[in-house]
Amino acid sequence: MTELQKKIRLLSKTELFSTCDGEMIRQIAGFCSLYSFPRGGTVFRIGDPGNSFYIVRSGEIAVFQRTEDKREQEIARYGCGDSFGEIDMLMNTGRNADARAAEKSELVRFPGEDKTFLDLVLAYPPTGAELLRLFMQTTSARLRKYNGLLKENSPWVNEMRTQVYGDKLTGLFNKTYLEEQLPGYLRSASQPVSLFMIKPDNFKLINDNFGHEAGDQALVAIGSALAGHIPENAVLVRFMGNELACVFPGTGREKALRVARDIQGLLNSLDLSAITKKQAFRLSVSIGIAVFPDHAQEAEGLISRAHALPLIGREQGGNRILFSGDA
């Protein structure tokens, strides 16, 4: 059995990863390292960086804390399949205990040597998001057991959320966020939800005439204008390229049309003169709308139906508002 196969087999049998599919397990295993420790070997010491956690493949690990009179007191023991160290990694704190092999042991460490959790997140965003959820779920339960609470707003957790769900250029949420969070809005057929896909028809002219940096600046300006215009309960996302998505809870077709016309007017009159070197430029925008539950009953279908419409609007002359089925 290869080292990778050993890691995959162990991760598959570990409770923490029990809900992960085979591909996720393979991706996680690629960011793990396998370590052997002789009896009495030190896994980590008090004060070491808590930047990883361990799963016991074989053997047994004892964890010790020091009493006020400097004596060691065993506080935990972990056997095959057990994991430990997750809380330190999530909280981004140093180790507050010593861990040593009670007998000859083999451990899987995540992340492995010269790797970080953020490396995995950047390589595989959906897997990173699921892993973050699992860590927070399991460690929250452990911390509550000891009368503690996971700091949801800790810098590390906020940084992870930014890496997983944030678009670096615009500061908006990204496609991953929309795909993962949209199902939560589609719970009751009595509460309509409208998904807008908003795409400039003539964005290519900005890139061609003023350069791609100007295009990036224009996209930031569009995102900023929309973010300051939509209601608080709406969710704005950079879906892909120059296409933005917006979720409007409690919005059926009639209200969605009014909102779309308002957004179209806002963007048509957006002042881009600082970006276009004071040359006159009127942004043309097509908006595609799919409404739950009228056009689709699940998130993937809603996204697919709305995403196709702005390009059709551009082909029809641009500055169009189209609902699913209209095209």
Residue-wise pLDDT for 16-44, tens only, equals 787 888 899 999 999 999 999 999 999 99
Structure tokens at 74: 């065993």
Is residue 168 a part of any domain in this protein?
A: no
Structure tokens at 242: 């120059």
Sign of CA dihedral 70, 73, 75, 76: positive
Is residue 94 a part of any domain in this protein?
A: yes
Is residue 167 a part of any domain in this protein?
A: no
- Supply the pLDDT for residue 121: 84
Last-in-domain residue among 135, 161, 187: 161
Name the pLDDT band for 254 (thresholds 50, 70, 90): very high
Last-in-domain residue among 137, 161, 185: 161
Question: pLDDT tens for residues 264-322?
Answer: 999 999 999 999 888 889 999 999 999 999 999 999 999 999 999 999 999 999 999 99
Name the pLDDT band for 63 (thresholds 50, 70, 90): very high
Burial of residue 152, with CB atoms counted within 10 A of its CB: 0-12 exposed, 13-18 middle, 19 or more buried: exposed
- Supply the pLDDT for residue 17: 82
Q: What is the mean pLDDT of the chain?
A: 88
The answer on 145 and 190 residing in a single domain is no
Question: pLDDT tens for residues 180-190?
Answer: 889 999 988 89
The answer on 313 and 189 residing in a single domain is yes
Quick check: 238 and 168 in contact, CB under 8 A?
no
Above pLDDT 70, what percent of the chain? 92
- Supply the pLDDT for residue 151: 47
Helix (H, G, I), strand (E, B), or coil: what is residue 280? coil
- Supply the pLDDT for residue 139: 63
Indicate the residue type of 1: M
Q: What's the CATH number where 139 sits?
A: 2.60.120.10
Is residue 82 a part of any domain in this protein?
A: yes
Residue reference for tokens 């092999």 = 101
The answer on 123 and 100 residing in a single domain is yes
Above pLDDT 90, what percent of the chain? 59
290: left (phi over 0), alpha (psi -120 to 50) or beta: beta
- Supply the pLDDT for residue 158: 61
The model carries a pTM of: 0.58
The answer on 92 and 29 residing in a single domain is yes
The answer on 157 and 16 residing in a single domain is yes
The answer on 118 and 178 residing in a single domain is no
The answer on 32 and 152 residing in a single domain is yes
Q: What is the mean pLDDT of residues 231-247?
A: 95
Going by C-alpha positions, the residue among 268, 246, 117 that lies closest to residue 172 is: 246
Number of domains in the chain: 2
- Supply the pLDDT for residue 165: 83
Name the pLDDT band for 146 (thresholds 50, 70, 90): very low
Q: Which of 40-49, 242-251, 318-327 has the lowest mean pLDDT?
A: 318-327
Residue 327, pLDDT > 70, answer: no
Q: What is the mean pLDDT of residues 250-271?
A: 96
Quick check: 198 and 226 in contact, CB under 8 A?
yes
The answer on 145 and 218 residing in a single domain is no
Is residue 263 a part of any domain in this protein?
A: yes
Q: What is the mean pLDDT of residues 101-117?
A: 91
The answer on 221 and 319 residing in a single domain is yes
- Supply the pLDDT for residue 318: 95
CA 54 to the chain's CA centroid: 23
Residue 248, pLDDT > 70, answer: yes
Structure tokens at 88: 């330190």
The answer on 191 and 134 residing in a single domain is no
Indicate the residue type of 262: D
The answer on 129 and 246 residing in a single domain is no
Quick check: 271 and 280 in contact, CB under 8 A?
no
Residue 58, pLDDT > 80, answer: yes
Name the pLDDT band for 149 (thresholds 50, 70, 90): very low
Phi, psi of 124, deg, nearest 5: -135, 80
Residue 192, pLDDT > 60, answer: yes
The answer on 178 and 155 residing in a single domain is no
Range of the domain at 183: 173-323
- CA dist 316 and 327 (Å) reads 9
> Where are the extended beta strands (E) located within the chain?
33-37, 42-44, 53-58, 61-66, 72-78, 83-84, 98-101, 105-110, 173-174, 193-200, 235-240, 243-249, 285-292, 321-323
Quick check: 239 and 170 in contact, CB under 8 A?
no
Residue 143, pLDDT > 70, answer: no
Residue 85, pLDDT > 70, answer: yes
Phi, psi of 326, deg, nearest 5: -70, -40
Q: Cis omega (within 30 of 0) on the bond before 310?
A: no
- Supply the pLDDT for residue 319: 97
